[in-house]
Copies of this chain bind each other. A is one copy, B any other.
Amino acid sequence: MIEIPTIKDVAKKAGVSVTTVSRVLNNRGYISEATRRKVYQAMEDLDYHPNEVARSLFRKKSNIIGLIVPTVAHPFFGELTSYLETYAYSRGYKVLICNSQLNALKEQEYIWMLRRNQVDGIVMASHTLEVEEYKKLNLPVVSFDRFISSRIPYVTSDNYQGGRLAVEHLLQRGCTKIAHLCGSLDLDMLANQRHRAFMNVAEEKNIPYCTVQTDVNVFEVDEYEELLTDLLVRHPDLDGLFLNSDIMAIAAIKVCGKLGMRIPQDIKIIGYDDVSIASLVSPQITTIRQPLAQMSELSVKLIEDLVKKKAVPTENCLPVELIERGTT
């Protein structure tokens, strides 16, 4: 391995000063076309690439966004990560990915790590810590789907409306007894509003309902089947299920199949998110679409604005949409 060329090597090769090379690199000051070309030629000859670590140190800006998710293995967060990274990249940002596994210790460690690495901001899509921990963070943070404090903007979609659309759709399709499988309601997630809407509508319409909460670790897929089987065995007269994710809905399809319930004849199922497999499985899942692309884009924009110390709105709620497919 040859030594990695530095700006000095480029300067020497091009026969100019380091300052001049830096000027070319950063487009500042007066530079003649001839010199510019010489410098670029030297950079190419040496296969020179400026050391961003050195630049970051000086600029106190790394152009890195930290993204903390429960796990990218879950399709929802996989898609979120994909959109977010793509948009971030187009804005000159890189993304450091962190899978907290919804483990508070890991999440805290990741936050510290991101800080030490001078990320410009953090998008938090995992929320296992106390609100206080986030508040004292003293660096641009955007929260995904959770209200933390008025000083920390959040991006979400209209969960109440989503819950409402889901339940109204089930009822419109003739359901007479419905259940909602959601994450733990002990955590004050904005997603809980789906459940509020669920109850409100059911009560409004005088429809019997039940609720099943998952463990705190919402993304442990194995748990879904057990919970759902238990639910359906105890309430065989259920004819409508509202699930907090499409993955849960896929699990529900499986469990119903095992119990000999036909979808949508005997029981109707509606998921949430509209991740890409939702329309690929059979039957295709009726679901509430969250505008993930826009949410990701907005998250990056908010980080950018926070970095620039611009004022940003705390609440950023995007609309959801009912997507009718084969399970209802």
Complex interface residues of chain A between 27 and 80 (CB less than 8 A to chain B): 47, 49-54, 56-57, 62, 64, 71-75, 77-79
- Contacting pair B86 A81 (CB below 8 A): no
Stretch at the interface among A164-172, A248-256, A315-323: A248-256
User: What 0/1 pattern do residues 4 to 32 of A give for CB contact below 8 A with B?
Assistant: 00000000000000000000000000000
**For A77, what are the chain B residues with a Cβ–Cβ distance below 8 Å?**
78
- Contacting pair B51 A118 (CB below 8 A): yes
**Does chain B have a CB within 8 A of A310?**
no
- Contacting pair B277 A254 (CB below 8 A): no
Q: How many copies altogether?
A: 2
**For A201, what are the chain B residues with a Cβ–Cβ distance below 8 Å?**
none
- Whole-angstrom distance between the Cβ of A243 and the nearest chain B Cβ: 12
Q: Which of A2, A62, A118 has the most CB of B within 10 A?
A: A118
- Whole-angstrom distance between the Cβ of A171 and the nearest chain B Cβ: 25
Choose from B49, B53, B97, B116 the contact partner of A97 (Cβ within 8 Å). B97
Knowing A52-B116, A73-B79, A116-B51, say if A221 contacts B276 (CB, 8 Å).
Answer: yes
**For A95, what are the chain B residues with a Cβ–Cβ distance below 8 Å?**
96-97
Knowing A97-B97, A115-B49, say if A221 contacts B280 (CB, 8 Å).
Answer: yes
